[in-house]
Chain A
């Protein structure tokens, strides 16, 4: 194993029990991802894409197997350490409606920094930087989520994922509710983050042409990577 490896997954399984029924969302998945790479995850609905991303980001814990991220054993970390991991190393982008309503774009982007005690001025400064990076015009910085278009909202979400300067960006169908023009903008943005800032990006999508923009494409079927 070399130190360019950012994510290493070994025989990862995740089983849900729901109403007495067992669902194997992930079946002994193994792979690794190098630092600064963008990978996309495609597959039919229910194939385990969201589950995989959640486990990688420490939002969910595996049933079996190992997940190593930057040498950290995510599969054995306790809640407090997982919180610390998400706070410092990971940026999440979800499908839609993942901004806090009533908060301005600027406040939404500054939010992750509130949890590590970054002072107000520094938060605002950083939020502005990130919004600039995703191309939201300054005139919109003080708009609340409800007053932004879907494309603008997702750009704010990407900016928020960048606020804590994470090593990993985990994006679960970030273009799910966007038209193709806006989808392009978001995927280009994620790709440039990997290429120019060396961030490791994992993007789930249904759109094969968007998936093809990543350096690697993971095809998932029934909890396995093909």
Chain B
């Protein structure tokens, strides 16, 4: 214990130098911790993305992917048939059409390529939360969302932009495709497309629009490991008439790749900054041992054993490194948020280029082939996925820093401490 105490105390001997070294160590530790936080944040986002979109498979009419000819639809029975496949947890049908508008040509037609202009109507199962494919979340700002009891009823939830264009409010009546609908809710969405979207119960949409089919079915598989098997099964049964895209292989997969790169970069950064910190500890202790070699000789002459000397200098290294790590924690608390936003914006710049046809990973919601929404996602880039990356000081991070500090002190201080312990007293007491 006395050896360790002497080691701690030695830090005060050259206070100016100790302060400078602690600041350097603090900066390096702060960098390490930031890298660690980025790595952890990105890893958990990757896991989230995998968990939410990794198990989704989009099924569309053959040849419909991309801004191809509109008009092909999936048969309604496909929903029940897909649900019978092994490994399928859920099947989400979707019908997308241009919103019927007498003033526009082609209104009321089903859309495969996605909305390129104007408003679109989404037929959705009323018992599911509303979402705009690829456009993120939908928030009800007035009235209510669709409810299970709405099935078959002529009710709509309209986007705020469309509502203001047409002067609609909750309780208004609006005509779509020659039929009157009651507006039960107004929603707000992140994208321009979303703000013009009209949601109505799926069966109502099928009936009213007279289309008799679906534009897309999204299959959720029980686990990511079964995605390939389920895709093969769908292709085997309906390969002639449908296109099948697993989201993990398309848009979401590419986001994952970018996140993976970011994670690898942060891991390398972490490793390099740890090596730098170790080098600082090693260099400092090396210097300290050289400088105090005569004193080490005297300690040995008056009865210190190798163990005593090694413990003293090891403790000094650990104290140095530990305090440095704690300074790093404090620095991180000060600059962490700026680092986080810098990382997010950097990651945003390296977002993958998104071509048409992939299913966007909009907050894990069933995606549709919607270039508009994809462009929206692409512009936001990985920033959207990393949106919640926060680099803040938690107890876990502080504990991690403390443990890392101790470990680094032991590693960086080991060789100098052993060198000190092995000094020959007669030589160092004599020596200049």
Contact = CB atoms under 8 A, between A and B. Distances in A.
Interface of A: 50-51, 54, 57, 59-60, 79-80, 83, 86-88, 91-92, 94, 97-98, 100-102, 111-112, 114-116, 160-161, 164
Nearest to A53: B426
Contact of B426 (A60, A112, A161): A60
Contacts of B306: 79, 83
A60 B303 CA distance: 14
What is the predominant secondary structure among interface residues of chain B facing chain A?
A: helix
Please list the 3 inter-chain residue pairs (A to B) with the smallest Cβ-Cβ separation, ordered nearest first.
Answer: A87-B303, A60-B426, A114-B2
B85 interface: no
A112 B299 CA distance: 8
A103 to B, nearest CB: 8
B104 interface: no
- Interface core residue of A57, A80, A83, A112 (most chain B CB under 10 Å): A83
Given A60-B426, A94-B429, A114-B2, A164 B298 contact: no
B90 interface: no
Nearest to A57: B301
A94 B300 CA distance: 13
Contact of A86 (B6, B9, B302): B302
A79 B424 CA distance: 10
Given A98-B298, A100-B295, A59 B304 contact: no
B15 to A, nearest CB: 10
B302 A112 contact: yes
Given A54-B425, A83-B303, A102-B12, 6 more contacts: A51-B426, A86-B302, A92-B302, A94-B298, A111-B302, A116-B303
B13 A59 contact: no
A170 to B, nearest CB: 9
Contacts of A79: 306
A92 B308 contact: no
A92 B299 CA distance: 10
Interface in B392-432: 424-426, 429-430
B432 to A, nearest CB: 12
Nearest to B425: A59
Contacts of B295: 100-101
Contacts of A51: 426
A182 to B, nearest CB: 21
B429 A59 contact: yes
A112 B298 CA distance: 10
29 contacts: A54-B426, A54-B429, A59-B300, A59-B301, A59-B429, A60-B425, A79-B306, A80-B305, A83-B303, A83-B304, A83-B305, A83-B306, A86-B301, A86-B303, A87-B302, A88-B303, A94-B298, A94-B301, A94-B429, A98-B298, A100-B295, A100-B298, A101-B295, A102-B9, A102-B12, A111-B299, A112-B303, A114-B3, A116-B303
